[in-house]
Amino acid sequence: MTPPPDISRLPGERPRRKPRVGLIAGGLGTYWPQFPTLLPQLEESARYVSQRFSDLDAEVVDVGFISDAQDAARAAEELRVRDCDVIVMFLTTYLTSSMVLPIAQKTKTPVLVIDLQPTESMDHATFGTGEWLAYCGQCAVPEVANVFRRAGIPFQSVSGWLRQESAWRRIQQWISAAAVRGVLRGARHGLMGHLYPGMLDVSTDLTLVSTQFGSHVEVVEFDDLRVRTEGVSEAEEADRVALAREVFTLDDSVDAESLAWSARVSVALDRLVDDFALDSLAYYHRGAGGEVHEQLGAGMILGASLLTASGVPVVGEYELRTSIAMLATQTLGAGGSFTEIQGLNFLDDVVEMGHDGPAHLAVSSRDPLLRGLGVYHGKAGRGVSVEFDVTPGPVTLLSLGQGIDGRFSFIVSEGEVVPGPLLAIGNTTSRVDFGRDPGEWVDEWSATGTGHHWSLALGHRAHDIRAAARLLDVPFVQI
């Protein structure tokens, strides 16, 4: 098998805020004078947990150990000010729900309750009450959960023992979900151009993106790109052409003029993203008669693919919701390429997927190809497009759906990319086996409320996406 492309040759991924995790440990202070060795043991467990969280790729706000309501009030205020993406409550032993409820109420942040006893089991022959209490964090979980539910506070829980790696993998899943929540809460989504005429499903109320996710949508114009393109020097253009020749295999259909123009637009696109501090960008412009805006729209694919590979998803056809879905899968470390259905193969029982235009190079099974196109189907202009086949193996689709009430939803489906014949028309293409009749899959997928496009990401990531949906309080649908 041909090795995947070496995207390390591209500029590094653009910096993005790490998930901010609020960490608090606690137990009932009434026990400390009764059992003098108990608190030191629990504090040692808390230090271990804090260190494990510090080792994660997260910003940890550790507010220490609480023993009573006064401690809890102090911790709540500190966590409120720090605006965390998730609050982790480590129940080291029994504590009352009245100690933790104010923390959740004041911070207004999703809560992960963890109770990790010291070892796999107690030594029943030697344990007294004090030793048992170090294993009693679980007894508070039903109480805390009941009160949180009655208060309408979103929460999750992970029960296990201190060094149980399977429990820590479950915890890591929630930290990954917190990363998605954090990125979407602070994201700046660019929207440039206009709606592809007639694609009603693509139309998105920008206010809903802000109200449901906390994101900002920055409306930019093709003239913003035009001005920056005019400012690209010949040396910068030549450097970008050299990078394109290094990253891509060039098909004989690519002419020097089209490559140079795409390189110039790519440099300008980088500047646009930097100047407006964008985390994603969706664009479309029809243009007419070969004027400059039409040429800009046709020259986007090279630069959009390079930006997507560096962690800033760029999509065509004004597909704002799909750029958000791609940002979510990118945050999970699964890549994510702009995708739609291309056809069905009932001989091999696969759904053929792909799209012309921007593509995520990380999902390619080989060095991506630049192919020259005399025409973009359904669009104006001509130029270069990116073509590759997706790495065989497990994949996950994530679509950002929208219902009659305007509420967004995360819609996923897991499948396997399998080898076989593919179109060679300047598209990202794949053959996805969902383990069922492809026509039945299309019918069920379409009934979920998905739009025309979605993110195709590597690996089976439905559990991670489900966790992110719960932290973001959006419906989750899987087929």
CATH of the domain at 120: 3.40.50.10940
Q: Is pLDDT of 211 > 50?
A: yes
| Confidence class for position 444, pLDDT limits 50, 70, 90 | very high
Distances, alpha carbon 423 to alpha carbons 13, 304, 356, 417, in Å: 30, 21, 11, 15
- What value does the mean pLDDT take over residues 325-341? 93
Whether 12 is covered by a domain: the verdict is no
How does the average pLDDT of the chain come out, rounded? Answer: 91
What secondary structure, in 3-state letters, does 122-167 show?
A: CCCCCCCHHHHHCCCHHHHHHHHHHHHHHHCCCEEEEEEECCCHHH
Same domain, 113 and 234: no
Whether 15 is covered by a domain: the verdict is no
Same domain, 244 and 279: yes
Q: Greater confidence, 467 or 198?
A: 467
Whether 238 is covered by a domain: the verdict is yes
| Confidence class for position 16, pLDDT limits 50, 70, 90 | confident
Q: Is pLDDT of 333 > 60?
A: yes
Q: How many domains does the chain have?
A: 2
| Confidence class for position 396, pLDDT limits 50, 70, 90 | very high
Range with the lowest mean pLDDT among 148-157, 334-343, 367-376?
Answer: 367-376
- What value does the mean pLDDT take over residues 159-185? 96
- What value does the mean pLDDT take over residues 83-95? 97
Closest CA relative to residue 455, chosen from 365, 321, 345: 321
Last residue of a domain, one of 184, 218, 246: 184
Domain holding 142, by residue range, is 20-184
- What value does the mean pLDDT take over residues 195-203? 88
Whether 3 is covered by a domain: the verdict is no
Determine what percent of the chain falls in helix, strand and coil, rounding each to the nearest 5: 40, 25, 35
Whether 13 is covered by a domain: the verdict is no
Last residue of a domain, one of 169, 184, 199: 184
Q: Greater confidence, 4 or 68?
A: 68
Same domain, 155 and 262: no
Last residue of a domain, one of 152, 184, 216: 184
Q: Is pLDDT of 10 > 70?
A: no
Give pLDDT, residue 147.
Answer: 96
Tokens 């480590």 correspond to 90
The DSSP line for 71-125 is HHHHHHHHHHHHT-SEEEEEE-S---HHHHHHHHHHHT--EEEEEEESSSS--TT
Same domain, 175 and 311: no
Same domain, 202 and 153: no
Whether 11 is covered by a domain: the verdict is no
Same domain, 357 and 280: yes
Distances, alpha carbon 230 to alpha carbons 194, 243, 394, in Å: 22, 20, 43
Same domain, 200 and 141: no
Same domain, 137 and 191: no
Same domain, 47 and 178: yes
Whether 1 is covered by a domain: the verdict is no
Q: Is pLDDT of 421 > 90?
A: no
118's CB contacts (< 8 A; 6+ apart) are 41, 45, 134, 135, 161, 162
Whether 7 is covered by a domain: the verdict is no
Q: Greater confidence, 265 or 2?
A: 265
- The CATH number of the domain holding residue 257 is 3.20.14
Same domain, 250 and 391: yes
**Cβ atoms within 10 A of the Cβ of 151, count?**
12
The 8-class DSSP code of residue 463 comes to H
Same domain, 121 and 180: yes
Same domain, 170 and 203: no
Closest CA relative to residue 439, chosen from 371, 334, 350: 350
| Confidence class for position 1, pLDDT limits 50, 70, 90 | very low
